[in-house]
Amino acid sequence: MAPTLAPSPPHSPTWADRLAPRRWLGPVVLLGPAGLWLLLLLVLPTLLILEISLVPGLRLGQPSGGYGLGNYLQILQPIYLRVMGRSLVFALGSTLLCLVLGFPVAYWLALMSPKRWRNLLLVGFILPLWTSSLLRAYAWITILRPSGVVNTLLTALGLPTQNWLNTSTAVFIGLAYSFLPYMVLILYASLEKLDTRLLEAAADLGATPRQGFWKITVPQTMPGIAAGCLLVFIASLGDFVVPTLLGGASSMNISRLIYNQFLGPTRAWGFGSALSMVLIFAVSLAIALLLRYGDRSTVTEAS
């Protein structure tokens, strides 16, 4: 006769078993406040702007008359296309200036500067970020105005002077100055990871310094270059202070055009919302490219 097994005693639930159905409470408690903040101050306002942009001809104090794409079609007018094209030129030009000026600085800081002074030199280079962007723009007004520092030096050297202020050149200078430290920080974080043994091996195999730079340094730091360029492009595309203070009326960009639609005499909120959605889409596309092709670790370390 086969022996019978005694029934096992009932399993008493542990604290882990009791808390298992409630494990979702931890993420909710941790992420809930930030998620609610983003929902109230980012998602809902964006959806509101999207709704307003679909109301053709909506102006302050006038009732809405249904939905349509009239505001978006208005953007296709030549005058507004020129403004958007100018905004892209400012963003691309300032990005190229920051890359050309920032790469040698980041290269020297990461690979050639004395290690004991490296952090101090890096802090000294990003020191202008400790001041307001508005104050830095006003400082460039002092430098570029007709009686400013630049024309004073040109006069002392016997060279012809000109009005630098309220020109596209002033906008490029201001944007490059404002966002150059960000480019240097990201490139520095990328160049600091460069394996210098590859450069030594290339030199042993007969490669010139130029060949080593283009075939080893640039490919190894390309994710950092992409991240820096996209970050500067995003910031330059939506900048309002520098084009307004340094560019004048001839340097109208998309951010100033949006400001005029909401707070200007026309108060065309529908058209301004459509412009805002176009800017949001362009920035979102640039961020998607940054996440896809950029080195996110260098952006995190630089920030």
Domain carrying residue 116: 66-302
Which CATH number fits the domain that encloses residue 272? Answer: 1.10.3720.10
Query: Does residue 6 fall inside a structural domain?
Result: no
Query: Does residue 108 fall inside a structural domain?
Result: yes
Alpha-carbon distances, residue 66 vs 53, 57, 63, 124, 125 (angstroms): 11, 10, 10, 56, 53
* Among 61, 59, 82, residue whose Cα is nearest residue 257: 82
Quickly state the pLDDT bin for 60 (edges 50, 70, 90). low
Task: Compute the average pLDDT of residues 226-244.
Answer: 91
Task: Compute the average pLDDT of residues 31-49.
Answer: 88
Residue 15 pLDDT > 80: no
Residues 190 and 184: their CA atoms lie apart, in Å, by 10
Looking at residue 21, what is its pLDDT?
A: 54
Residue 64 pLDDT > 80: no
Instruction: Evaluate whether 237 touches 248 at the Cβ level (below 8 Å).
Output: no
Residue 98 pLDDT > 90: yes
What is the percent of the chain with per-residue pLDDT over 90, rounded to a whole number?
A: 32
Looking at residue 20, what is its pLDDT?
A: 52
Number of independent structural domains in the chain? 1
Query: Does residue 263 fall inside a structural domain?
Result: yes
Q: If you average pLDDT over each of 7-16, 17-26, 157-166, 254-263, which comes out highest?
A: 254-263
Looking at residue 103, what is its pLDDT?
A: 94
pTM reported for the whole predicted model? 0.82
Query: Does residue 195 fall inside a structural domain?
Result: yes
Task: Compute the average pLDDT of residues 196-223.
Answer: 88
Least confident of 38-47, 53-62, 132-141, 294-303: 294-303
> HEC string of the chain?
CCCCCCCCCCCCCCHHHHHHHHCCHHHHHHHHHHHHHHHHHHHHHHHHHHHHHCCCCCCCCCCCCCCCCHHHHHHCCHHHHHHHHHHHHHHHHHHHHHHHHHHHHHHHHHHHCCHHHHHHHHHHHCHHHHCCHHHHHHHHHHHHCCCCHHHHHHHHCCCCCCCCCCCHHHHHHHHHHHHHHHHHHHHHHHHCCCCHHHHHHHHHCCCCHHHHHHHHHHHHHHHHHHHHHHHHHHHHHCCCHHHHHHHCHHHCCHHHHHHHHHHCCCCCHHHHHHHHHHHHHHHHHHHHHHHHHCCHHHHHHHC
Residue 88 pLDDT > 70: yes
Looking at residue 149, what is its pLDDT?
A: 87
User: In this predicted model, which residue has the larger pLDDT, 27 or 201?
Assistant: 201
Looking at residue 177, what is its pLDDT?
A: 93
Looking at residue 300, what is its pLDDT?
A: 53
User: In this predicted model, which residue has the larger pLDDT, 78 or 303?
Assistant: 78
Query: Does residue 58 fall inside a structural domain?
Result: no
* Among 132, 241, 115, 110, residue whose Cα is nearest residue 184: 110
